[in-house]
Amino acid sequence: MKYAVDVKDLTRRFGDFVAVDKVSFQIAAGSIFGFLGPNGAGKSTVIRMLLGILPVSDGEGTVLGRDIRTQADAIRSQVGYMAQKFSLYEDLTVWENLQFFAGIFLVKDPGRLEHLLELLRLKDYRKTLAVALPGGIRQRLAFAVALVHDPEIVFLDEPTGAVDPALRRYFWEIIVDLSQSGKTVMVTTHYMDEVERCDQICFIYGGRLIAQGSPSELKREHVSGHIYQFEPTARLEALHALARLPDVRNPFPAGSAVRFQSEASLADLQPRVQSYLKTPLAQVRPTLEDVFISLVGAKK
Amino acid sequence: MIVQVRELAYRYGEAEALRGLSFEVPEGQVFGLVGPDGAGKTTLLKLIAGILPVQTGELLVLGENVGQTQVLVRQAIGYIPQRFSLYRDLTVEENVEFTARLYPLKPDFARRQQELLEMVDLARFRKRLADQLSGGMKQKLALLCALIHEPSLLLMDEPTTGVDPVSRREFWTLVFELQRTGLTVVASTPYMDEAEQFDRVALIHQGKFVRMGTTGEIRASLPGHVLEVECDKPFQARGVLQGYEVELFGDRIHVFMEKPSPEEVVERLKTGGIRTTRAELVPYSIEDVFLRVTA
């Protein structure tokens, strides 16, 4: 099987509202697929259709070679799903949650659960009720549960939301390991630095697919002009001033710096932003965050 | 001072959540809390909001003891909890009106409601159910509701978690505009780029402040150097650079070094078959400090 997921013209309507509009893409088996877009773009709706939780209005698709319209049950036993909202039992402990899902998926090997506790660094929380877990640790439990039955494909809907910087990196080590062992991962995230690790990315906006490619392809094709950055003397003033320059696009804060896109040269821009500079104006390499901001900025 | 905290400690049964924090937040400042999961950020915010009782130490908000004075000081606080806590089955407008009724209604309520709706760009959606708003819009509604009674202090627990890169920038721009009107803010965030925009940041680890200061002070709080490297195989670099402390930042790597020796790193990468396109010593970012201090 070449593609773990293969969808064509996938569409979902809620009444008159078209939440997902003729979306087509393929996910190569064993790859990491990044699914991006602003809040409300339709990402979770697509994932729910792939899982067979939500019926398809139009279009077709397969997951692991099975039809998402007619073989949802067969699909569900082979996929792992980490929902955006915490969907485990709050009144069960960490260990009880794992056992419960192991029961549903008929996981016999007790070593599997111990392995997952270890992998997601949950040993200290074994007897803690899920309701009492801090946000990032709930995410670890949800991730562990998604992996309970060693699924062929894992859908991770914002796995690293509320997860601290060190643990985010660790989650991604696990994701890369899954991919290297032949599993397929479809992941959504709002952290653009993480997306660099994806083999392929689809970007949806307003239910439509508006860009796709590898991280380097997206940076090449969807960032026009140059990216500039500087540390401002006063951030809001600098952003307001940049917004007034006709040849500057998408000025935005990037950490303590201010960043923007422009076709103009450094020498041309320098005198015009001079009074806001705390550090020299520098031309920098685009990141996927710039891609995201360009794509959304062009639509707004 | 809007917030004054001395030797504040808190325990849940046996577990020590906060272990002696002392700090102050002056009027008009945006004060940020960052730290690993379970470090104590939410507990601290709940104490300041008066939701948890003070057990040990001193906590004053607007000069008053939050636990004892109850009503008046709480009216001066707006609080956005970590989980969306508005009514999903009420519209935008109904949520705002319901929240406003919890406080003494001011005569100019209608005008303030309209101003805030326009400011957060929700005026168009006033009849929409809260449940039907996107993640970014939900948080703007939460912000609006937290501000409707004109508090002096706004507390926010990870307000931009799950919010997309453009929407979360819009959210913070709103907050910084509000700051100009004198609002004081204490907020936690898992996004280190947001933390760099705050006036002051405290890094909490295991219930203690392990760093506190401006972004500049926190960056300068670690010895050694950061070498930022752009190369053709960033994900293989860590393996090649065994013996170094290496962290991945998107498609770049940060190499922490006692003595700045970029040539040595570039050479090692080259031997390992990795071509470097740029290697530059950069200041520590807050994320670098976070990763090193909490490791």
Residue B104's pLDDT is: 81
Can you give the pLDDT at residue B59? Answer: 94
Mutation to test the A interface, candidates B33, B164, B180, most A Cβ within 10 Å:
B164
Question: For tokens 């549960």, what's the residue?
Answer: A145
Whether residues A196 and B135 touch (CB distance < 8 A) is answered with no
What is d(CA B50, CA A98) in angstroms, rounded to the nearest whole number? 35
The 3-state DSSP class for residue B54 equals coil
What is the sign of the dihedral through the CA atoms of A293, A297, A298 and A300? positive
Are the beta carbons of A166 and B290 separated by less than 8 Å?
yes
Mean pLDDT over residues A102-126, rounded? 94
Helices (H), chain B: 41-49, 66-69, 71-74, 92-101, 109-119, 135-147, 165-180, 192-195, 215-219, 234-240, 262-271, 286-293
Cα B52 from chain centroid (whole Å)? 20
What confidence score (pLDDT) does residue B95 get?
Answer: 95
The contacts of residue B143 (CB under 8 Å, 6+ apart) are B80, B120, B156, B159, B171, B174, B175
Tens digits of residue pLDDT in A262-295: 999 999 999 999 999 999 999 999 999 999 999 9
pLDDT number for residue B71 = 66
Q: List, for residues A151-166, the tens digit of each pLDDT value.
A: 999 999 999 988 999 9
Nearest CA in chain A to B294: A166
The pLDDT of residue B68 is 67
Q: What is the pLDDT of residues A16-45, one digit of tens each?
A: 999 999 999 999 999 999 999 998 899 999
The answer to whether B123 and B96 have CB atoms below 8 angstroms apart is: no
Tell me the CA distances in angstroms from B271 to A55, B264, B265, B294, one per residue in order. Answer: 53, 11, 10, 32
Which pair of tokens denotes residue A289?
Answer: 């965050």
Pick out chain B residues at pLDDT < 50.
Answer: none
- pLDDT of A138 > 80? The answer is yes
Angle at B153 between CA B149 and CA B157, to 5 degrees: 100
B87 CB burial (10 A radius; 0-12, 13-18, 19+): middle
Question: What is the Cα–Cα distance from A171 to B224, expressed in whole angstroms?
Answer: 28
Residue A55 Cα, gap to closest chain B Cα (Å): 19
The dihedral built from the CA positions of residue A243, A246, A250 and A251, taken in this order, carries a sign that is negative
**Taking all residues of chain A, what is their mean pLDDT, rounded to a whole number?**
95
**Amino acid residing at A56:** V
Contacts of B230 in chain A (CB under 8 A): 285
Show the tokens assigned to A284. Answer: 């920098």
Nearest to A40 among B35, B134, B168 (CB): B134
| Subunit contact A236:B173, Cβ cutoff 8 A | yes
Phi, psi of B75 (to 5 degrees): -65, -15
Contact A223, A261 (CB under 8 A): yes
The span from the CA of A237 to the CA of A235, in Å, is 6
Q: Is B190's CB within 8 Å of A163's CB?
A: yes
User: How many interchain CB pairs under 8 A, A with B?
Assistant: 124
CA–CA distance, B41 with B255 (Å, rounded to integer):
29
Q: Give the tens place of pLDDT for each residue, A183-207.
A: 999 999 999 999 999 999 999 999 9
Question: Which chain B residues are within 8 Å of A15, Cβ to Cβ?
Answer: none
Q: Across the interface, do A38 and B167 touch by the CB < 8 Å criterion? A: yes
**The two three-digit tokens of residue B148, written as one number:** 């409707």
Supply the pLDDT for residue B249. Answer: 95
Measured between CA atoms, the residue of chain A closest to residue B137 is: A39
